[in-house]
Chains A and B, each alone.
Chain A
Amino acid sequence: MHNFEFVKPSTIAEAVKALAREDAQALAGGHTLMPTMKQRLAAPAVLVSLTGIPEMRGVCRNGDALEIGAATTHAEVAREAAAVYPALASLAGGIGDPAVRNRGTVGGSLANNDPAACYPAAALGSGATIVTNTREIAADDFFQGLFSTALDAGEIIISVRFPIPERGGYAKFEQPASRFALTGAFVAKFGSGVRVAITGAGEDGVFRWSEAEKALSATYAAGALASLTVSPDGLMGDLHGTPAYRANLVKVMTARAVRAS
């Protein structure tokens, strides 16, 4: 790993200022960025840790939504969201392993937008709002393809606001070596309708499965998906599963998510 200057600000303003420096990059839990730096695929000159900023940590209920600081760890979300938004808590509690959950953060996961990550499905499936240091971005506009998001250079996620559904569920078919989702489905039922987000399957990353949203909005039961078919076009294929295999998993995992909700 190339060396860098390490800074750990205690306010958002200081962090934003540090990130304006040349070749500066944000560090949260480091569970994606550090392996990337070890491979020298990233070599920031300045690394700005976001974990020492109190306003960026914690889980708090705000009316109909759960607002989670971007630097909150998966373990904290698993614990603190359990009573209000169990589907989100169980998603966080199923990421990687206990040590990964003690360091990895929701902001890091969303900013990274790995096509097989869990949190993008929760954010898109809940219709979350990503709050940054400059604006608020709807999840529908945030994810822009593999490892790419609407964030501008130097822009940081401060918190994420998840509307709390009447019912919600997440089902992940685990890729056993990486523990990421080979395919995962997040389902959330609101008074206004049902949202379904699929991760691990799309060539462009997380996406909404609109046919399932329609069917489940009409009848909220796993059986409502029975007559739907998923096209393998645009789905990922690799040694773990073909596009057709993932297409089948999309349906199976969505049904499981409904049953879990």
Chain B
Amino acid sequence: MTKVTMTVNGTAVSGEVEGRTLLVQFLREGLGLTGTHVGCDTSQCGACVVHVDGKAVKSCTAFALDLEGASVRTIEGMANADGTLGTLQQAFQDHHGLQCGFCTPGMVMTSAALLAENPKPTEAEVRDYLEGNICRCTGYHNIVKAVLAASGQDVSAVAAE
């Protein structure tokens, strides 16, 4: 076992891990941050996306030890300081952007990375950026709507197909 140290949601954390410990295992099992989900474990579905130094990364496909010293943000870090839902989370709720909710942590984190890069994306840009996030419930439409709404754009014109 080797010691690993990171900043997770603004707090310095450390733990003992094996070489093969994945970032998602360190987050869920080591730190008890079970908001990040494992869908496929093969880098296909995006349920496990977190931010590493500000960038969207699939936490099932990174070793914890490779991220020594990194700054990580998870879905637990997306709420407001008073515990209420953050803007993007609230938009997912308002626009019914989730059903079972399994994909939601990854959807929210990927969308947050998009809005940080591109604060007013078009519908096509949202769909393109979410290409690696799979949802088996919603049909994506309300997710796209939620992201557009969270960016402050009017979504009344987005057809409810």
Contact = CB atoms under 8 A, between A and B. Distances in A.
6 closest Cβ pairs, A-B complex? A97-B132, A6-B19, A102-B55, A97-B131, A6-B65, A99-B56
The dominant DSSP class at the B interface is: mixed
A214 interface: no
| Interface size class of chain A, counting residues whose CB lies under 8 Å from the partner chain | 20 to 34
Contacts of A5: 19
A2 B49 CA distance: 24
Contacts of A252: none
A179 B49 CA distance: 18
23 contacts: A3-B20, A4-B19, A5-B19, A6-B19, A6-B66, A8-B65, A27-B63, A30-B63, A30-B66, A31-B43, A34-B43, A34-B61, A35-B43, A37-B20, A38-B42, A47-B63, A96-B132, A97-B129, A98-B113, A98-B114, A98-B131, A100-B43, A102-B55
A138 to B, nearest CB: 32
B143 to A, nearest CB: 15
B32 to A, nearest CB: 22
B110 interface: yes
B19 A47 contact: yes
Q: Considering residues A4, A6, A75, which has the most beta carbons from chain B within 10 angstroms of its beta carbon?
A: A6
A258 B146 CA distance: 38
A35 B66 contact: no
A103 B49 CA distance: 12
B66 A102 contact: no
Contact of B42 (A4, A35, A102): A35
A49 interface: yes
Given A3-B20, A102-B56, A49 B66 contact: yes
A102 B110 CA distance: 12
The dominant DSSP class at the A interface is: mixed
Interface in A81-103: 96-100, 102-103
Interface of B: 2, 18-20, 41-43, 46, 49, 52, 55-58, 61-63, 65-66, 68, 110, 113-114, 129, 131-133
A51 interface: yes
B68 A8 contact: yes
A99 B49 contact: yes
Contacts of B41: 38
Contacts of B61: 30-31, 34-35, 103
B3 to A, nearest CB: 12
A84 B61 CA distance: 31
A6 B46 contact: no
Contacts of B58: 99-100, 103
A1 interface: yes
A212 B58 CA distance: 39
Given A98-B114, A103-B62, 9 more contacts: A3-B19, A30-B61, A31-B61, A49-B63, A97-B129, A97-B131, A98-B56, A98-B113, A99-B49
B57 A99 contact: yes
A86 to B, nearest CB: 18
B55 A6 contact: no
Q: Considering residues B43, B52, B56, B65, which has the most beta carbons from chain A within 10 angstroms of its beta carbon?
A: B43
